[in-house]
Amino acid sequence: MPLLLSTALLISSCSKQQSLQALFQKSTPHQAYARQLAQAGLAQRPGGRAWLAAAGQALRDSLVVALPFAETGYFRPGNPGAASYRYAVRAGEQVHISLSLGAGASARVFLDAFEVVPGAVPAPLASADTLALDFRYQADADGQHLLRVQPELLAAGRYTLRVNREPGLSVFPVSGRTDAAVGSFWGADRDGGARRHEGIDIFASRGTPVVAATAGVITRTGETPIGGRVVWLADEAGRGNHIYYAHLDKQLVRPGQRVNAGDTLGLVGNTGNARTTTPHLHFGIYRSGQGAVDPFPFVQRPGAAAPLPKGPDRRGEFVRLRADATLRPGPEPGKSKGKGKNAPRAIALSKQLPLLVVGQHGAALRVQTPTGQIGYVLAQAVLVATGNPLRRVVLPALTELLTAPAAASSAEGALAARTSVAVLGQAAGFSLLRGPRGETGWADI
């Protein structure tokens, strides 16, 4: 253990210059750290193997959450682990991820976002480490994404994680309006059902400025029977988006002109086939090689941030259920059931089982079972094990404290004979003991 500790501390104290270099390499900070473990010979030691195994397991077995999401979490010292969260995204929206460490915590933390592809290894999307625990990325397609949160070896401390949705375009396309002004949405019937609406209609008074939703180049202007006076803007961000503004009363730009986000392109009107309707902007987005896509996620206002948990901070404490229950794969009841092969497997929990609280979300606690399974239980359904032990006993002999409820697990300490201990819970024939100085471990008594 001393060698592991000293080497891990050496790794975590790499210079800021080295960490910055990792950010500009093709490998992620997480991958660079894994290479450092291998180079230091730690990848084959128990701690290193456990850290790498936790990283891989997080990609295969994630919790299911809904955005916006906020949770307080806990890194347990000496127990390498990784938290992972799976959430649904829509093409065009931006995902904003931020993590803040609690007071006194100085651990290096790795944040990695992945696209979940059925039948394939999750594809990396964006990454960060302690130099910038706040980043954004845009979803290119509807689907499922996964966020992995993993600290360095031997890390300890509390953290707060937030994951929010934001519009993919920086400026709303009609000056002074928000998505509340959208009156006709993507896919609505047109011409008696002969075609579908390939955009959204944003209603505003005639003459209201229509603005560039992002920086780019004007590729085309003109007048068509359906769109009336139109403007086409190519997004310069390199995402292949071609933004279409239609039914303008007046165009104020020309082809080839470069514009910044917020520059006026024209004025709201009702030209083309909108001449019998009230003035509005038809706003559409077309993607190279894909065609029209729903533009609403590109401009939808971010929802209110999820509130942080209220009530006692149970992170790092052992709790037990008041009655037998099931470990949930997500914090919201009924929102993460899934179907068929995607249905999470229900895990039955006994009220005798001690559960380590590793996170809190709303009225739910994220807990870890003695065998390492992670999930949620309701905070009101538990009691604190230290204040409500199953029983108190006096040890008849010197007793080793094991790291897990298994005879083959390693010992992390021992308690002398005639020591009075509290039994916090039971699993697999073993008891979780807590000594007079807070020593905690498993024993076959």
Tell me the per-residue pLDDT of 328-381, one tens digit each, with 9 for 90 and over. 998 876 554 444 445 556 689 999 999 999 999 989 999 999 988 899 999 999
For the structural domain made of 191-283, what CATH number should be given? Answer: 2.70.70.10
CATH topology of domain 2-166: Jelly Rolls (2.60.120)
For the structural domain made of 391-443, what CATH number should be given? Answer: 2.30.30.40
Distance CA 385, CA 423 (A): 9
Residue 202 is predicted with a pLDDT of 98
Residue 426 is predicted with a pLDDT of 97
Q: Is the pLDDT of residue 22 over 50?
A: no
Distance CA 110, CA 432 (A): 31
Equal fold, 2-166 vs 191-283: no
Is residue 238 packed enough to be buried (19+ CB in 10 Å), middle (13-18) or exposed (0-12)? exposed
CA 85, distance to chain mean position in Å, is 5
Tokens of 100: 């803040």
What stretch of H or E contains 264? Answer: strand 264-268
Residue 190 is predicted with a pLDDT of 65
**Which residues, 6+ apart, have CB-to-CB distance to 85 below 8 Å?**
62, 63, 64, 65, 69, 146, 147, 149, 163
Instruction: Read off the pLDDT band of 25 (50, 70, 90).
Output: very low
Domain borders along the chain are 2-166, 191-283, 318-384, 391-443
Residue 12 is predicted with a pLDDT of 43
**Which residues, 6+ apart, have CB-to-CB distance to 213 below 8 Å?**
169, 170, 171, 172, 173, 233, 243, 261, 298, 299
Tokens of 361: 């979300």
Mean pLDDT for the stretch of residues 189-215: 86
Residue 155 is predicted with a pLDDT of 86
For 250-309, how does the pLDDT look when each residue is reduced to its tens digit (9 = 90+)? 999 999 999 999 999 999 999 999 999 999 999 999 998 888 999 999 999 988 888 888
Task: Provide, rounded to the nearest whole percent, the portion of the chain with pLDDT above 90.
Answer: 69
* HSE toward the beta carbon, residue 315, CA cutoff 13 A: 20
Query: CATH says 318-384 is which class?
Result: mainly beta
Closest CA to 259 of 219, 217, 211: 217
